[in-house]
Amino acid sequence: MDHPVATPKRSSAAGGWGALKSCGKHLLGSRAPLSGARAMLKANQPDGFDCPGCAWGDPAHGSSFEFCENGVKAVSWEATDKRTPPKFFAKHTVSELRGWTDYALEGEGRLTHPMRYDAASDRYVPTTWADAFAAIGASLRALSSPDQAEFYTSGRASNEAAYLYQLFARHYGTNNFPDCSNMCHEASGVALQAAIGIGKGTVLLEDFEKADAIFVVGQNPGTNHPRMLGDLRKAATRGARVVVFNPVRERGLERFADPQNTVEMLRGASAPVASHYYQPRLGGDMAAFRGIAKAVFAADDAALAAGKPSVLDRAFLAHHTDGLAAYRAVVDATTWEAIEDQSGLSRADIEVAAEVYLGADKVICTWAMGVTQHRHSVATVRELANVLFLRGHVGRPGTGLCPVRGHSNVQGDRTVGINEKPPATLLDALEAEFGFAAPRHHGHNVIAAIGAMLDGSSKAFIGLGGNFARATPDTALVAKALASCDLTVHIATKLNHSHLVPGRVAYLLPCLGRTEIDRNPEGKIQIVTVEDSMSMVHGSGGINKPASKHLLSEIAIIAGMAEATVGSSKVDWAGLAQDYDRIRDCIERTIPGFSGYNVRVRRPRGFMLRNLAAERNFETPTGLANFSADRLPEATEHQRAGKAPGTFVLQTFRSHDQYNTTIYGMDDRYRGVYGERRVVFAHPDDLAEIRALTGDRVDIVGNHQDGVTRVAEGFRLVPFDMPRGSLAGYYPELNVLVPLSTFGEGSDTPTSKSVMVQLRAPAAA
Ligand SMILES: Nc1nc2c(c(=O)[nH]1)N[C@H]1C(S)=C(S)[C@@H](COP(=O)(O)OP(=O)(O)OC[C@H]3O[C@@H](n4cnc5c(=O)[nH]c(N)nc54)[C@H](O)[C@@H]3O)O[C@H]1N2
Ligand SMILES: Nc1nc2c(c(=O)[nH]1)N[C@H]1C(S)=C(S)[C@@H](COP(=O)(O)OP(=O)(O)OC[C@H]3O[C@@H](n4cnc5c(=O)[nH]c(N)nc54)[C@H](O)[C@@H]3O)O[C@H]1N2
Ligand SMILES: [Mo]
């Protein structure tokens, strides 16, 4: 029995002419139409750079230009000809700049000179690279323990930069590696490691061409992984079922017009993507998938009772998995009533999803932040894996688990050692290769790093990219944490709010972006490498002229800081920075899977890191894929909010015009919002009630009962197709409401998708 999606009322599909128009606007708006357009032609090409937009894989065949509106925005953002030179900083004090929006700060363009914060004038002033490195080295050496320093990584850093960075920090003596991944897919890594013995997905891009059903859970690919939408659409067109779980009706998942398809563009046609669209409550996915499992077990019991073959993959379950009996017991013990209440979906609807699952020979399940940013995210990802195990949908063509990564190299950074809990094998390998004693005790993740800065036990923060102050919860507290440091260092391409809460000694170090040519002192062009969501490692070389002649590569900056801090007796930092092939050789000798790195990475599509789980070789302690047997949470935030009158649960997501804390523009075209970001989406019936009490604008007030007052003021209410009792709005503006005190069990990820709030009328102006 099918359950087709109703034709959306909004007239136009995602993609299409709107996307093309928007691209033109962004290329022109960045005032770099030529270099931006030329750069776009080289994005994700064998001889070009890896698109900094997202971590979706590249097609195996053809070098056809893969069009992506948001890739254009990411590239033109970097290839802008606007600059933020020293004279800009001479004009504006840091206190004044703190009053600017994220949009306005980055709108000033690329940073051009290394800058030092001068407290007396409250300004950043130009400095030299040599002075900056010397001062940073001196400050780090002055700390009483290396564990007083935090080494943050944002997931855009290349394998080479990330490897050198972890080498520097470990040589210096700490495993403090807070990482954007702690706020992102940490739950996926933790859950998959336990379930299948590797914290990564098992799917290749080719599998999307073979799957019969693709479950897309808690993800908005139309905005955040537009190239994935093309693959989903192709699958839908050849008849595969695309089953969406998302509380919000996201237009890109409903219909998509492919901007690369001329006929479609001229006809104004578009194709449906989702065959089934379920709108669970926030945090209701574990319950929904538990319901699918319940229906699958019931179907199996019925088949066996009728003397028919089992609907489960009994051979896979017997030879490759552990824990089925305990899982079955916990599924049996979970009532339909609990499942319906927590998921917000009816038993009948869930049974339809189970029929799709049972009717498919090959199933893929993808997910992203809608799954990973809750308290019970690890248990939820395990439940997705449980359900796929039942019919052997791991390690077979056309099947698998697919956490869709965020930053373009967040997966690679982990692979090469950005990990606060490093395995002993990595530390042993580093010691054998370089001859220093690597620290053995675990370090800080994001939540721990913030806590340590706040209580004074950490005194230095180094940021390899990113925007720590805006990406993390409780914005004001994190700003206080950074400002209380003895040393803050930010390696960045554009100015952001993290740079405006300087420590006692503070440096802002501008680096080359991925689109720019990186030459070593002898003039040789260097390439870096990245790993995508499908474990493919490939090269990336810039083609644009650097934004300023004073820029250094991230690698050169890390090498400079390292040499000034720990000296060169064990590691030849300058030599490594001079030729990245040498860094790759070190990676090859110390990290498994990189044999022949320098040769293989120069092949057109790079190479795939061996993923044993994809071969049904599960490196868990049991040597088997492990079922989990977690109970559903007692109550999700949505359920708790439902019981407290006037309380809502808020999710913070991305608009179509942003890249994390980088705001490209004020529109969210697919959701019909233009010219503003201070909006909050609500169900029309809730909206009517709220409006009656508050009017059109509201203040959103945190309701976490942890003693902290949190308010986001003056948000306009927008009606949207989503479950009652929930709200949605944009990150990073709403991070003032996300509490540091609530985080994922086993993942420590802030619960950005289930924030308890109340609404009130704005205080009269
Ligand atoms: N253009 C662009 N591309 C990006 C980024 C960007 O900001 N801009 N960011 C990059 C990064 S770092 C990441 S991690 C990814 C993020 O990619 P996504 O995970 O797609 O990012 P979000 O915008 O947070 O969207 C979350 C989606 O999950 C849904 N959701 C929220 N809560 C729940 C829930 O409880 N259950 C279910 N089933 N759904 C839920 C929301 O309605 C929304 O559609 O994108 C990457 N790519
Ligand atoms: N409430 C809420 N909070 C969230 C999320 C959410 O969904 N809701 N999502 C979380 C997620 S998934 C993530 S990944 C984090 C993101 O957290 P981060 O990775 O810390 O943040 P970004 O906004 O991606 O970082 C943008 C900055 O990176 C710098 N930059 C850009 N390109 C380069 C480069 O090539 N090199 C260097 N060195 N710097 C560069 C620029 O200065 C830019 O200002 O935020 C998390 N925070
Ligand atoms: Mo992310």
pLDDT at residue 326 in the model: 98
What's the confidence (pLDDT) of residue 86? 98
Which pLDDT belongs to residue 73? 80
pLDDT at res. 64: 36
Centre of ligand 2 to C-alpha 682, Å, is 27
State the DSSP H helix or E strand holding residue 518, giving kind and residue range, or none if neither: none
Distance CA 612, CA 513 (A): 33
Closest Cα to atom 22 of ligand 1: 653
| DSSP-assigned beta bridge partners for residue 702 | 757
pLDDT at 561: 98
HEC letters along 533-554: CCCEEEEECCCECCCCCCCECH
State how far the alpha carbon of 170 is from the alpha carbons of 428, 431, 472, 491, 579, in Å: 12, 10, 24, 19, 22
Which residues are 257's β-sheet partners?
Answer: 15
Question: Which is it for strands 697-702 and 711-719: parallel, antiparallel or unpaired?
Answer: antiparallel
Please tell me the distance between residue 412's alpha carbon and the centre of ligand 3 in angstroms: 13
Q: From residue 458, how far is each of 151, 447, 597 by CA, in Å?
A: 11, 13, 37
Distances (CA, A) of 210 to 230, 660, 737: 15, 32, 43
Q: What is the dihedral of CA 600, 602, 605, 611, to 10 degrees?
A: 30
Beta strand spans in 323-407 (E): 363-367, 400-403
CATH topology of domain 637-760: Barwin-like endoglucanases (2.40.40)
Distance 178 CA to ligand 3 centre (A): 13
- Can the peptide bond before residue 604 be classed as cis, meaning omega within 30 degrees of 0? no
C-alpha of residue 479 to centroid of ligand 1, in Å: 25
Class of the CATH-defined domain 83-184+409-511+552-594: alpha beta
Architecture of the 200-408 domain: 3-Layer(aba) Sandwich (3.40)
Tokens of 463: 């940021």
- The preferred substitution site among 76, 101, 493 for testing ligand 2, maximizing ligand atoms within 8 Å of CB, is 493
Cβ neighbours for 196, distance < 8 A, ≥ 6 positions apart: 202, 385, 394, 401, 613, 618, 620, 625, 626
- Tell me if 655 CB under 6 Å of ligand 1: no
**Ligand 2 surroundings by CB, under 6 angstroms:** 106, 154, 156, 180, 183-184, 369, 373, 406-407, 464-468, 471, 491-494, 496, 511, 513-514, 554, 652, 660-662, 731, 735, 738, 752
Alpha carbon distance 174, 141 (integer Å): 13
Residue ranges of domains in the chain: 14-78, 83-184+409-511+552-594, 200-408, 637-760
282: Cα separation from own chain's centroid: 19
**pLDDT means per 10 residues in the chain (765 residues)?**
35 60 60 57 65 69 52 82 97 98 95 98 98 98 98 96 98 98 97 97 95 98 90 94 97 75 60 92 98 98 98 98 98 98 98 98 98 98 98 98 92 95 97 98 98 98 98 96 98 98 98 93 91 88 92 98 98 97 98 95 88 94 97 97 94 96 94 96 95 91 92 97 97 97 97 97 78
Question: Is the minimum distance from the CB of 657 to ligand 1 under 6 angstroms?
Answer: no
Cα 137 to Cα 553: distance, rounded to the nearest angstrom: 18
368 in contact with ligand 1, CB cutoff 6 A: yes
| C-alpha 250 to ligand 1 mean position (Å) | 11
Residue nearest to atom 7 of ligand 1 (CA): 659
Residue to mutate, 246, 279, 411, ligand 1, most ligand atoms under 8 Å from C-beta = 246
